[in-house]
């Protein structure tokens, strides 16, 4: 009797789960969608007439036969937005404060209308001819649907290198070029704002979205972020720099309270955003889900108005992350202007708050004006005829070049570049199943991904047949793990197939027929879940055995072994890095990743990437590990959609309900170098196939400016590029400070053997400031500072002393 009862309970539980999911879906549709409220259709096509005045043709957007100020493109955005506001009803103002809902943005409606797969929109005001603006995920390339109903055409986008890899280039000009290509695809596919880049700090190696972010250092983050924003927005489309701010974990991200000192917040977690705002003025900023010291960021007037606008002079709008925050009117008052994706509840709440006077018309008008200025500045207001045919072939070349330049040579003992090598033995599932990028918002629907196997073949190498046969047999035996996923499953699934350990027969055949072995280690992660230590940060037992066995077999034959790391975040390397002859950190290079790796292995491209973070010996060497969730618990979508009740303080769970940033400013190399902790590879590290010499360092202080010149000479035998990194240290500081901090960098052009160049780096005296928590201001210590020029945080080769007078 027990067995049938058990089966019955399973059936009942299954039915209950299905009913819960269905109820949640209905709740989302009816309560979270704003579609068709008061006759508003976010995909309504507004017919626009023209009007000619003194031989100049303008768009008559409201069809009244005269030229209104907001229709006059000779007027400033301020004037046009003010005119529009004066013509809007209070209900029209309120409805534009939130997006059009999920149905239109996600392409759940008519796939032949709008941009299928866009994740969000703004609400149109048909009466005034105000169009819908489309928003798309896109940290590593646009994420829109590649197919649309019965449309025979395809709409694939380019998968560019992940953010961490772009930062590894330390090349702002190249990153700007990547941004130009991204922006062009947005323009030609009808997307108005790309939801990226991500500018959060790598506080812990376990953050599941580190691959989207640039670095553990705010200066590198800010400079690379500003470059890509400027590149994207040069096309007349916008960006949304995210997630503002201190969003450093995925676990419980929608309600986690970041408890942090003001100094750490200012110097580490806000500084990158500040640099991007001041050097790029992005169209939008996206607030994060989390709280900071008890207040949701999207409801924090201190963050969104006082700091972002008051101190940094940000001119754009702030939008929420999807379903972020709890109180709609508090968000608008704080300066979170646009609520995405937009819900019926938010509309009703804002309307009620306006009627009751708890949300002032001044706050409403302020946010509405920012939204209108974005819309007025968009290509939609110009009736731009997007082509749906961006230059995907040209952009593939950009991604191939940028990925190759972002690869980091961690070790090389006489094996690279490959010479006199015909046959290569490939080991590891990822050699044949390369990972282009991470999961979640950073996922891209691509037409193809080049594996390492394909890349090496394209470069003229033969691949050992025994390895190929072993992989195909493994794939066949584990077919469910290799099945191609579609739609939401493809976007959110960061799992990888099980690894395979080569048999003795495969190894014997490979070592006999191949001149060199390449082992690929793969890792993936994504939105909604943090990584874990076992079998993720640390290698699995199978991976360790594979490296040991392959190295033993090939070394016995006098042959070399290379390890390629096709990963999105830091892994442990110290325990096994002595075994192979070379290690290439290939990151996740987008759709051309296999070709890019082959370019570096063959020597077509000389590696010049540098680490944007530290590779520690142990995970626990990071100061943040004591205050970071280690169990990899997935994010709760129900909590994100429907909110969560505030718990009493004594019931809150550490590292979920709240996270203490006890390490303060000592994140990454600031912590390791301050405490003289041995690391596997230091921040800024990276080898080349050639050698460089730094000399002739000169510094000049003039007013608030400090200019530094360093001569770089290629003293090796092949052409290459080098990165000069500038670090500063305060002599005899009266406050606790890092031993040195990155303040600037520059990458040389390609230098031929024995050629030299002078790099010029400009910084300001204000860059030497620290946040004084007593006075609540930035403070500059007068006196002597040492400026170091080097090639990593632990290779400071030149130094110069400067004296800073009292400011």
- Strands 560-566 and 756-764, by their bridges, are unpaired
Rounded CA separation 247/27 (Å): 28
Measured at the CA of 540, the angle between CA 534 and CA 545, to 5 degrees, comes to: 150
Q: How far apart are CA 235 and CA 225, in angstroms?
A: 16
Distance between CA atoms of residues 115 and 137, nearest Å: 12
Cβ partners under 8 Å of residue 9, min gap 6: none
* Beta strands, E only, 273-346: 284-287, 291-292, 295-296, 317-319
Residue 142 phi, psi (nearest 5):
-60, 145
Interatomic CA distance for residues 672 and 667, integer angstroms? 8
Is residue 321 part of the annotated active site? The answer reads yes
Q: 648 vs 386, 403, 652, 657, CA distance in Å?
A: 53, 48, 7, 11
Q: Which of 433, 405, 438, 396 is nearest to 567 (CA)?
A: 438
Task: Please enumerate in sequence order all residues whose Cβ is within 8 A of that of 36, keeping only pairs 6 or more positions apart, or say none.
Answer: none
Q: Assess contact for 532 and 631: CB atoms under 8 A.
A: yes
Spatial distance between the Cα atoms of 38 and 262, rounded to a whole number of angstroms: 45
Coil, strand, or helix at residue 790?
Answer: strand
Rg of the chain over all Cα atoms, to the nearest angstrom: 27
Cis bond before residue 417 (omega within 30° of 0): yes
Q: Which of 566, 445, 559, 547 is nearest to 496 (CA)?
A: 566
The 3-state secondary structure of 578-591 reads CCCCEEEECCCCHH
* Beta pairing partners, 687: 409
Joined together, the tokens standing for residue 557 give: 């034959």
Phi then psi for 358, rounded to 5 degrees?
Answer: -80, -15
* Catalytic option among 60, 137, 321, 599: 321
Do residues 462 and 423 make contact, with C-beta atoms less than 8 angstroms apart?
Answer: yes
Contacts of 756 (CB under 8 A, 6+ apart): 711, 712, 713, 714
Query: Catalytic residue numbers?
Result: 321
């Amino acid at each position: 009797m027990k067995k049938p009862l058990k089966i019955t309970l399973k059936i009942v539980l299954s039915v209950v789960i299905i009913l819960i999911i269905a109820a949640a879906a209905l709740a989302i549709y009816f309560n979270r969608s704003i579609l068709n409220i008061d006759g508003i259709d976010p995909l309504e096509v507004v017919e626009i007439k023209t009007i000619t005045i003194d031989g100049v043709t303008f768009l008559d957007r409201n069809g009244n036969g005269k030229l209104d100020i907001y229709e006059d493109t000779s007027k400033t955005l301020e004037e046009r937005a003010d005119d529009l506001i004066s013509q809007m009803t209070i209900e029209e103002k309120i409805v534009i404060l939130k997006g059009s809902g999920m149905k239109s943005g996600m392409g759940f409606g008519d796939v032949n209308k709008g941009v299928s797969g866009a994740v969000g929109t703004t609400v149109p005001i048909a009466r005034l001819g105000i169009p819908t603006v489309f928003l798309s995920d896109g940290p590593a390339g646009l994420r829109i649907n590649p197919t649309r109903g019965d449309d025979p055409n395809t709409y694939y986008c380019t998968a560019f290198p992940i953010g961490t890899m772009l930062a590894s280039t330390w090349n702002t000009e190249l990153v700007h070029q990547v941004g130009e290509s991204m922006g062009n695809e947005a323009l030609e596919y009808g997307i108005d704002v790309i939801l990226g880049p991500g500018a959060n700090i790598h506080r812990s190696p376990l953050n599941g979205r580190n691959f989207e972010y640039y670095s553990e250092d705010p200066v590198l983050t800010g400079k690379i972020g500003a470059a890509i924003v400027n590149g994207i927005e040069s096309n007349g489309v916008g960006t949304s720099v995210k997630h503002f701010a201190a969003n450093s974990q995925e676990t419980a991200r929608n309600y986690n309270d970041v408890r942090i000192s003001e100094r750490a917040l200012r110097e580490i977690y806000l500084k990158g955003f500040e640099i991007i705002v001041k050097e790029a003025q992005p169209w939008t900023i996206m607030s994060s889900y989390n709280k900071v010291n008890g207040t949701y960021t999207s409801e924090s007037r201190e963050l969104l108005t006082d700091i972002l606008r008051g101190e940094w002079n940000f001119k754009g709008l702030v939008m929420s992350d999807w379903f972020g925050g709890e109180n709609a009117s508090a968000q608008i008052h704080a300066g979170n202007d646009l609520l995405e994706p937009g819900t019926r509840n938010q509309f009703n709440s804002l309307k009620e708050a306006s009627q009751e006077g708890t949300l002032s018309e001044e706050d409403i008008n302020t946010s509405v004006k920012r939204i209108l200025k974005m819309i007025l500045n968009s290509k939609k207001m110009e009736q731009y005829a997007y082509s749906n045919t961006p230059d995907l072939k040209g952009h593939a070349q950009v991604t191939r070049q940028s990925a190759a330049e972002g690869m980091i040579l961690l070790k090389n003992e006489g094996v690279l570049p490959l010479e006199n090598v015909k046959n290569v033995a490939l080991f590891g599932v990822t050699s044949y199943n390369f990972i282009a990028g991470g999961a979640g918002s950073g996922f891209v629907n691509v037409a193809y991904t080049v594996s390492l196997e394909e890349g090496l073949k394209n470069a003229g190498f033969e691949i050992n047949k025994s390895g190929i046969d072993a992989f195909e047999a493994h794939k066949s035996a584990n077919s469910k793990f290799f099945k191609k996923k579609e739609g939401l499953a493809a976007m959110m699934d960061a799992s990888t197939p099980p690894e395979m350990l080569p048999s003795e027969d495969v190894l014997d055949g490979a070592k006999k027929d191949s001149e060199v072995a390449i082992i690929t280690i793969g890792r993936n992660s994504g939105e909604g879940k943090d990584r874990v230590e076992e079998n993720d940060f640390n290698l699995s037992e199978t991976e360790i055995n594979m490296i040991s066995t392959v190295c033993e077999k090939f070394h016995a034959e006098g042959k070399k072994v290379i390890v390629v790391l096709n990963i999105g975040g830091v892994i442990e390397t110290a325990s096994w890095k002595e075994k192979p002859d070379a290690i290439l950190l290939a990151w996740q290079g987008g759709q051309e990743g296999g070709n890019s790796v082959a370019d570096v292995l063959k020597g077509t491209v000389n590696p010049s990437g540098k680490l944007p973070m530290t590779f520690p010996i142990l995970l626990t060497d990071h100061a943040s590990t004591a205050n970071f969730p280690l169990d990899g618990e997935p994010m709760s979508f129900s909590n994100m959609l429907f909110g969560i009740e505030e718990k009493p303080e004594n019931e809150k769970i550490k590292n979920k309900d709240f996270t203490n940033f006890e390490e303060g400013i000592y994140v990454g190399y600031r912590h390791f170098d301050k405490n003289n902790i041995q690391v596997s590879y230091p921040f800024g590290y990276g080898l080349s196939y050639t050698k460089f010499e730094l000399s002739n360092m000169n510094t000049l202080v003039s007013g608030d400016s400090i200019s530094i010149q360093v001569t770089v000479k290629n003293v090796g035998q092949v052409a290459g590029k080098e990165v000069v990194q500038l670090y500063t240290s305060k002599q005899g500081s009266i406050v606790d400070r890092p031993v040195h901090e990155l303040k600037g960098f520059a990458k040389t052009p390609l230098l031929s053997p024995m050629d030299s160049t002078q790099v010029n780096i400009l910084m300001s005296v204000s860059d030497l400031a620290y946040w004084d928590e007593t006075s609540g201001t930035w403070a500059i210590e007068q006196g002597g500072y040492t400026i170091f020029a080097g090639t990593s945080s632990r290779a400071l080769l030149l130094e110069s002393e400067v004296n800073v007078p009292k400011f």
